[in-house]
Structure 1
Amino acid sequence: MSSVPERSDIDAQYKWDLESIYADDDDWEEAYEAVEERLGDLEAYEGRATEDGETLLEVLQLSDEIGREVSMVASYARMRSDENTADQEYQALTTRAQSLASRAQSAGSFIEPEIQSLDRDELDRMVEETDGLEQYGHFLDDVMRTKEHTRSAEIENLLAEFGEVTGASGEIYNMLSNADMTFPTVEKPDGDAVEITQSNFVNLLKNPDREFRRTVYEGYFDEWSDVRNSVGAAYKNSVKSDVKYAQARNYDTAREAALDGPNVPPEVYDNLLGTVRDNLDKLHQHAELKRESLGVDELRMWDLYMPMTDTESPELDYDRAVEYVTESLGALGDDYRSRVAEGIESRWIDVYETENKRAGAYSGGTYDTQPFILMNYQDDIASMYTLAHELGHSLHSQLTSETQPYVYSGYEIFVAEVASTVNESLLTHHLLETVDDPDFRQHVLNEYLERFRSTLYRQTLFADFEYQAHQVVENDEALTPDRLDQIYGDLKREFYEPAVVDERIEREWMRIPHFYRAYYVYQYSTGISAAVALADKILEEGEPAAERYLEFLRSGSREYPLELLEGAGVDMRSPEPIQRALDVYGDHLDEMEALI
């Protein structure tokens, strides 16, 4: 019998308030049908979207209205499904919502090609002569920037319709890993039985009993070995989809296509990989320090998550974690902190792990809803940091939605991870400044180092892996599970040189859901680099730096990511912020080494 509680066992205050979107599924059905009927109104503009400025404004506003409605329908269905990934009713709603989103994208697929059929002077004249169209200035600039990679309206329509099918690899992987796979139940050192899950796996690897850790590690990865061919096929086809889409839009590589969306030059990616490789000695120092702190002859893969402390992580209940996080955000001003407190009271957050709930954590919601956060809180310091992280995303979304029109209400992942990691940095500073308990402080410092390692180094390793995996397909070579094991294993050995890399960890690529969003993970690494610089400025300068940062959060996507960060005070075209972050990591490593 599972030790994970049922959803009905959780108090309502610890569950997100999806009824604030739709009171029930019948309301969702009405919203679905209403927006479905509007797709024809948008399609009616095809062929005449740019006949004059007023018509262009009408079609852009209608597209925005439909986008807002579709995003609410899709978000509700997805979050209901995430509550219980085995619930086929909500799987069906999610599938229908995805189909609707694909049809909506298809219905408006003519807009950008028709805009790009104009010359620049014509477009500028339309904007100048039409009240309200100037609001779309940056959007229109971006459309013209990607002109050479936009196909005819007919082909754009076809590509949009295929979106639902080409996303199937990620959906299959999600169902397999969250709903269909089950992991062993193992006996803890105290005699209690515990079921290994996607959510508690890493936490179990922090148990001080080394033989127990090994049992958990082997049981978990052996389960993955049973679905190796299925996951390998899913990821291979996901990569092929990335490559084919890039080719369809006249890009040389999938990486070029992915980075061109947010207008990030490939040198930023290369700077990251090169700078991190130049600083692998710091990661090796961390691994060696961990081996010494554990008192073992060899650091094994089941030892990597162990804290460099003499005691287990202090238990930290959710309500106390909320207090710490809320207090730590005072550096961003009273308004920011009160927004966090109000959001928690308004049930933004689905807190605890329950049977078949989606693993991990994320921040969601739409332009017209409150933010929502999915968590699987585990009563430890790591979960407190996850709370701070996701609240950073949610406040970014809220501030943007309040300030920007819908067209700029989203923001690129490249800047999204800055907001989350600034919160983590401020939390660390607050805890080290205010908590006297030496054991707690040591665990906080350890948590910071571990999150830094798992964010900057680990995500850069992931970024290198997916870059190499895509190159295999782009070179017309076979992307087999064996090849994926080899790529991942070689990187793991390079990054964790002092540790023993066994064959099970070579399969770790199988458990990373972010790989189904091509060239996504590198932005965690660039994000933490920018965040370290911004958090330092906020703590050093106070209100002026905080206000620049808050203006960055309020800006949404009204400028390109690199320009937004530059306005906040960070130049990500240079390797300097990455090196600066790695130097901070090195300084904290030296501090921890002195403590232990």
Structure 2
Amino acid sequence: MSSVPEREEIDADDRWDLTSIYEDDDAWQAAYEAVDERIDDLREYEGRVTESAETLLELLELREDILREVSKVASYANLRSAEDTRNQEYQALKAKAESLSSAAQSATSFLEPELQELEKTDVEVFIDAEPALAEYGHYFDDVLRMKPHTRSAEVEEVLADLGEVAGGASDIYGMLSNADMTFPTVERPDGEDVEITQGNFTKLQKHPDRAFRREVYEEFYDEWADVRNAVGTSLKTSVKKDVKYARARNYETARAAALDGPNVPVEVYDTLVDAVRDNLGSLHRHAELKREALDVDDLRMWDLYMSLTGDEGPDIPYEQATEFIVDALEPLGEDYQNRVEAGLDSRWVDVYENRGKRSGAFSAGTYDTQPFILLNYQDDIASMFTLAHELGHSLHSELAKEAQPWHYADYTIFVAEVASTVNETLLTHHLLDTVEDDELRMHVLDEYLERFRSTLYRQTMFADFELRIHEIAEADGALTPDRFDEAYRDLKAEFYEPAELDDQIAREWMRIPHFYYNYYVYQYATGISAAVAIVERILEEGEDAAAAYREALSLGGSAYPIEVLGTAGVDMASPEPIESALSVYDEYLDRMAALLAAQ
């Protein structure tokens, strides 16, 4: 039987090394207690933020010192928790870290309201008096920009205190989907039993045996049906939280609040949705190519992940994937390549799925730690692309940390999803240009088309769904599982018009954790659009364009995201990058159609 191993069964070299943060749990506890005792020191500055330039600098430096340690404490706890969501000891550590983070935010909640008592000219006077404040120039600009949406110090403290419980719906959903839910075991066509998991569901949906795919699909979504009310309630609560927080900060909508944080115009969101909707014909063409390649009368939901080649594709062992990725990143420069290779050799990556491990993938870490990448590697092309994606995030963090002070090292998701997708796009070009194995090349082309489908189209569909359910809440409508089903099914029918829908696909919203992230998903679609434009520029212009891209990554959060991407030569305030990416999708569909016709 093919079963998911326990964590201790996985080789240590294939697990990340968290001792680089704290030697052990005792060291974590000591760090937790030490920084916990210091948090109240921040409150001593309440009411004094603007008394002098010297006082302001003291507070900003103390805040950095404390929050850097808090972030390390939280990172260790979160990573331990992700290793095995069933481990109650580490869930307790995570809960303690969340409380600590909330306390730290609460202790500095007075800072920005007091700063907003200043005018721009007052800030300039402070900088003249204390030149070290000059490096906070963008931070001050951002704080003053948010003045209409910042409440009194008392209200801000309450909102900060609520941070710990505000994420409760997401936490409950995560525990339910990762720790408590178990999926059936099914028999493969070769007679081997395999347990369905969140991590392997998509891969099983690529199995060439259609009856097996259908069985996996139905068993998987039947399991979700059993927790329908719990998941519906958690998503409803999360949406209502977004709406109430937006209203508390004087925004008309939750979307306006979410996009104003990174200073992304709402028009960028609308431009994306409109451009993708205007080009649904390309997605329908992709679906029709699948139907023809599979030689079926009707394309069903359990066919959507199937390769246009008609089979699962070649195995890509982890070691081979890392070699391909490092080679593919050559256009970004030798230093970038070397950093990636060193990270792979330094146990940045937690490679394989284990029982209880958080599903999906992510890159995490802090200003004072190395990056940490969670994977659930499945020895396939999709997993290789996921690794390339997460390494993009990790290198982005490394370059930003190296170039920026702590308060500018972090960056918005709007920019982050560009760095990850640039790596995916370079990997595609490299494999199509250098690999002689025709089968692998065809699967790579198919995988990239799937990345376009799932990133540009599917994430835009998700963004549209997210907007719709928030609008229902903002109109004081009822958010029920039936209402979620209805909204999701309507969108699925529109986006996948050539395919035949069934009742189970209306539940797909239940398995998408990103709906708890408050207008997050659209940035995947804008990210791939910007990434395609950046890679085309790098491949055409060479090192000058690569240097401009690296400079954009190194800016971190020292400028607004539209400005950061402008440094790399991309204007995301216009529809041009999205339209360009859609054209590339069409071009790759042409290439795949020609290959299929030649078979």
Letter in 1 for 2:292: E
Q: Distance in 1 between matches of 2:400 and 2:279?
A: 36
Query: 1:122 Cα deviation (Å)?
Result: 1.3
Query: 1:120 Cα deviation (Å)?
Result: 2.1
Identity %: 65
| 1:196-211 alignment, distance < 5 Å | 196-211=196-211
**Matched residue SS, 1:424:** helix
Q: What does the per-residue CA deviation read over 1:428-467, in whole Å, with 9 as the maximum and x for residues that have no partner?
A: 0000110011111100000000011000000000000000
What RMSD over aligned residues (CA atoms) do the two structures have, in Å? 0.7
Tell me, yes or no, if the aligned pair for 2:2 and 2:192 is still in contact at 8 Å. Answer: no
| 1:273-288 alignment, distance < 5 Å | 273-288=273-288
Q: What corresponds to 1:58 in structure 2?
A: 58
**Matched residue SS, 1:263:** coil
Tell me, yes or no, if the aligned pair for 2:2 and 2:193 is still in contact at 8 Å. Answer: no
Q: What corresponds to 2:328 in structure 1?
A: 328
TM-score normalised by the chain length of structure 1: 0.99
> 1:541 and 2:541 equivalent?
yes
Q: What corresponds to 2:268 in structure 1?
A: 268
Q: What does the per-residue CA deviation read over 1:448-494, in whole Å, with 9 as the maximum and x for residues that have no partner?
A: 00011000000000000000000000001101110000000000000
> 1:67 and 2:84 equivalent?
no
Q: What does the per-residue CA deviation read over 1:103-136, in whole Å, with 9 as the maximum and x for residues that have no partner?
A: 1000000000000011222121101221210010
> 1:145 and 2:145 equivalent?
yes
Letter in 2 for 1:517: Y
Query: 1:311 Cα deviation (Å)?
Result: 3.7
Q: What corresponds to 1:5 in structure 2?
A: 5
**Matched residue SS, 1:305:** coil
**Matched residue SS, 2:436:** coil
**Matched residue SS, 1:316:** coil
Q: Distance in 2 between matches of 1:118 and 1:417?
A: 35
Q: What corresponds to 1:410 in structure 2?
A: 410
**Matched residue SS, 1:132:** helix
Letter in 1 for 2:545: A
**Matched residue SS, 1:559:** coil
Tell me, yes or no, if the aligned pair for 2:242 and 2:518 is still in contact at 8 Å. Answer: yes
Query: 1:2 Cα deviation (Å)?
Result: 7.3
Letter in 1 for 2:230: S
Q: Structure 2 stretches of 5 or more lacking a match? A: none
TM-score normalised by the chain length of structure 2: 0.99
**Matched residue SS, 2:309:** coil
**Matched residue SS, 1:49:** coil
Q: What corresponds to 2:33 in structure 1?
A: 33
Q: Distance in 1 between matches of 2:152 and 2:565?
A: 34
| 1:200-349 alignment, distance < 5 Å | 200-349=200-349
Q: What corresponds to 1:386 in structure 2?
A: 386
Which segments of structure 1 move beyond 6 Å, counting only runs of 4 or more? none
Q: What does the per-residue CA deviation read over 1:540-580, in whole Å, with 9 as the maximum and x for residues that have no partner?
A: 11000000000011110100000011111000010110000
| 1:102-181 alignment, distance < 5 Å | 102-181=102-181
Q: What does the per-residue CA deviation read over 1:277-323, in whole Å, with 9 as the maximum and x for residues that have no partner?
A: 00000000000000000000000000000000044310110001100
Q: Structure 1 stretches of 5 or more lacking a match? A: none
**Matched residue SS, 1:350:** strand
How many equivalent pairs are there? 596
Q: Distance in 1 between matches of 2:556 and 2:398?
A: 10
Query: 1:234 Cα deviation (Å)?
Result: 0.3
Query: 1:61 Cα deviation (Å)?
Result: 1.1
Tell me, yes or no, if the aligned pair for 2:207 and 2:311 is still in contact at 8 Å. Answer: no
Q: Distance in 1 between matches of 2:128 and 2:419?
A: 35
| 1:423-572 alignment, distance < 5 Å | 423-572=423-572
Q: Distance in 2 between matches of 1:310 and 1:413?
A: 35
Letter in 2 for 1:493: A
Q: Distance in 2 between matches of 1:94 and 1:4?
A: 24
**Matched residue SS, 1:47:** coil
**Matched residue SS, 1:351:** strand
Letter in 2 for 1:298: D
Q: Distance in 2 between matches of 1:51 and 1:311?
A: 69
